[in-house]
Amino acid sequence: MILGIETSCDETSVALVSDIGGRLEIHAHLIASQIEAHRPYGGVVPELATRQHLARLDPLVERLLQESGMTLPGLSGIAVTRGPGLASSLLIGLSYAKGLALASGKPWIGVNHMEGHLVSPFLAGGQPPEFPHLALIVSGGHTLLVEVRGPGNYQVIGTTLDDAAGEAFDKVAKLLGLDYPGGPEIEKHARDGNPAAVDFPRSMLDSGDLNFSFSGLKTAVRIFKGKHPEFPLADLCASFQQAVIDVLAGKARKALRLTGCHTLALSGGVSCNRALGQAMERMAAADGVRFLSADRILSTDNAAMIAAAGLLRLRAGQTSPWDLDVDPNLRLAVGAP
């Protein structure tokens, strides 16, 4: 049984995850969202996020243990996000996790936040992670195609060269006058729109590599909106959303063919977008590929995925030294640990 702690950005989360016969099972999971606190500012304010984590983390852990009937001595270890993320927010979780580990005599594992996303689709059905597989992480700060060969054995084969997909959603929503967070707002309006109303660019779709770029698409929306201020909002949102989906699905299909993987796992906050999930599922089915997507509650920042990633590391005999620090720019390791 692993206690997971997540404080990388604007969600304070704790969870208990166990390994039963190779299957990962969530026993308890709590998330304290900070969306309402940051909404007036149109984005995450690092200092505010840090204060929220500091106030909420200890009460959340106490509540988690109390409601689950678990005690610190009953744990096998403690997993915590050490990067990437906001440095001050990461420090809250890492310091707290080290304190618990020292007090209880348990090992601790510093987890890459992206590694948590890689595991999250396999938590949905309580099934063992499958290796190798292709993972597509689509979030506010990252757009990554990763060939997952085993725990700690990853090959990043595609990444964003500028704005991540989720970042593009937030920025486009802001220039359209929509609320924060922008992804759900654009999706809501897009449901009533025509995705073919505006032929926005599909950036780098035929670039010859697996990298992404969404900055140009964001600029195209801004220019179009300036020239057509009365254009229906629903059609604009639907057309932008479809352009993002076409690029993500197109690059994922190329990656599947390049790697020969037979499983595609979608995760990250943008994976909540229903149109994206449906497009990926159709593409995978057409190519005879198994498709997995993280549950909605596990797609955004959460401690269950951190606990699961830490559990896989602990099972492989890996723990973290006491002098390991946070790394706001932490990258996924390439190659076997």
Res 117 pLDDT > 90: yes
Residue corresponding to tokens 């897009």:
190
107-121 per-residue burial string, b: 16 or more CB within 10 A, e: under 16: bbbbbbbbbbbbbbb
Same domain, 119 and 137: no
Q: Per-residue pLDDT averaged across 75-97, rounded?
A: 97
At 280-300, the pLDDT tens digits run 999 999 999 999 999 998 998
Could you tell me if residue 14 is inside a domain? Answer: yes
Q: Give how far Cα 323 sits from Cα of 6, 25, 109, 222, Å.
A: 19, 30, 12, 47
Residue 125: predicted pLDDT: 65
- 126: pLDDT strictly greater than 80: no
Rounded-to-5 percentages of helix, strand, coil across the chain: 45, 20, 35
Phi, psi dihedral angles at 279 (to 5 degrees): -65, -40
Q: For residue 41, give its domain range.
A: 2-124+298-315
Does residue 156 share a domain with residue 101? no
Q: Angle at the Cα of 229 (from 223 to 235), degrees rounded to 5?
A: 85
The per-residue pLDDT for range 134-161, each reduced to its tens digit, is 999 998 888 999 999 987 889 999 999 9
Span of 14-23, 223-232, 257-266 with lowest mean pLDDT: 14-23
For residue 188, being part of any structural domain is answered with yes
| Whether residues 184 and 267 fall in one domain | yes
The answer as to whether 334 is a domain residue is: no
Could you read off the pLDDT of 242-261 as tens digits, one per residue?
A: 999 999 999 999 999 999 99
* CATH code of the domain containing 237: 3.30.420.40
Counting the structural domains of the chain, the total is 2
**Residue 252 sits in the same domain as residue 221:** yes
Residue given tokens 């096998």 in the structure block: 76
